[in-house]
Amino acid sequence: MLPAYVEQAAQLQMLADDALQEGGQAWLLRVQAKDMAEQAVYQALFDRTADYTSWLEELAHARQTIPTLPTAELQRLQRRHGRAYEAIRKIDFFPGEASSRAEAQWRDFTNAIEAIQSPGEPQAAAGRIARRDRMQYQGRLWATRRHLWVDRVASAWLIQRFIDPAARFLWLESPADCPADALGFDFDGAIFSHVGDRVTFEVLLASFGLEGERGLQRLGTMVHSLDVGGTATPEAGGFEAVLAGARKRWPDDDALLADVGGVLDSLHAHFSMYRKP
């Protein structure tokens, strides 16, 4: 028995149709509660509180280990608990207090990992994104926080490839060190940083009229999911692993950008020819 409006109900219909086409028999029967009391009984059959409670206990234990783990282990830990969380969410047809508590704890958990991997992560600002003329941004000095991670390395690549081919980069120990003549990105107070639900890469796309480019749009989806969460592309986990490995190989951010830039070139070419099946 499943709620009639969920995705699985459509899948059941497909299974029934397949059975009929092969000469078999199948029936999908709709059950209607006669009153609110019976409706509550039906909903209780799908109560996921116990699942969330078990998962939250594991998450609390994992949270204690975060400060001691290297980057690669942190990523594996986050992916493992993220998969478990999504598995529960997919069958939580009537979210309640337990799901709200789990969502809050998962957000705190991912924020804690992000704070270790990328200290100084910017807070999203409100307002609109102004359209800018690329010709006014040529041969400029661009600055962001050092020890590049997903949004910063992708944004630097975007600047180099599509906005300012002659760009020079300054990797900051602290945003307070940003020179007055530099174009800051991906830190609080920077000219280009998070706005609303868009990460810096997406803000740059919107600022310079690049949102309509297929490959960049798909890259933006990947960067968004890795930076702040959301629907992940199949390539996201692989890119994250490559970037984590590159950070071990290249302690210098200029070398890191050059290395990972080639990966982003390839992903952009892949995404540019992407067609939905």
Give yes or no: residues 203 and 244 share one domain.
Answer: yes
Q: Model confidence over 225-239: pLDDT tens digits?
A: 888 877 778 898 899
Whether 276 has a pLDDT exceeding 80, the answer reads no
Residue 170, in any domain of the structure: yes
Distance from the Cα of residue 134 to its chain's centroid: 27
Whether 205 has a pLDDT exceeding 90, the answer reads yes
- Distance of alpha carbon 222 from alpha carbon 235, whole angstroms: 8
Whether 169 has a pLDDT exceeding 80, the answer reads yes
Residue 126, in any domain of the structure: no
Give yes or no: residues 82 and 190 share one domain.
Answer: no
**Domain limit, last residue, from 83, 117, 151:** 117
CA atoms within 13 A on the CB side of 178: 21
Q: Comparing C-alpha atoms, which of 38, 149, 41, 50 is closest to residue 102? A: 50
Tell me what the pLDDT averaged over the chain comes to.
90
Tokens of 78: 């986050």
Whether 149 has a pLDDT exceeding 70, the answer reads yes
Average pLDDT over residues 160-168: 97
- Distance of alpha carbon 61 from alpha carbon 203, whole angstroms: 36
Give yes or no: residues 242 and 142 share one domain.
Answer: yes
CA atoms within 13 A on the CB side of 155: 31
Is the CB of residue 159 less than 8 Å from the CB of residue 167? Answer: yes
The domain containing residue 164 runs over which residues?
A: 134-272
Backbone torsion region of residue 14, taken as left when φ is above 0, otherwise alpha when ψ lies between -120 and 50, otherwise beta: alpha
Place of tokens 């992940």: 232
**Domain limit, last residue, from 87, 117, 147:** 117
**Domain limit, last residue, from 67, 92, 117:** 117
Residue 216, in any domain of the structure: yes
- Distance of alpha carbon 252 from alpha carbon 148, whole angstroms: 9
- How far apart, in Å, do the first and last CA atoms of the chain sit? 31
Give yes or no: residues 103 and 189 share one domain.
Answer: no
Residue 208: pLDDT band with limits 50, 70, 90: very high
How many domains does one find in the chain? 3
CA distances from 178 to 170, 172, 175, 207, 234 (A): 8, 7, 6, 21, 36
Give yes or no: residues 170 and 259 share one domain.
Answer: yes
Give yes or no: residues 205 and 227 share one domain.
Answer: yes
Q: Model confidence over 83-137: pLDDT tens digits?
A: 999 999 988 988 889 999 999 899 888 878 877 766 667 878 888 999 999 999 9
Percent of the chain residues past pLDDT 90, beyond the cut: 61
Average pLDDT over residues 149-160: 96
Q: What is the pTM of this model?
A: 0.62
Position 277 scores a pLDDT of 47
CA distances from 185 to 3, 148, 155, 176 (A): 46, 12, 8, 13
Q: Model confidence over 22-79: pLDDT tens digits?
A: 999 998 888 888 899 988 898 898 999 999 999 999 999 999 998 888 877 888 898 8
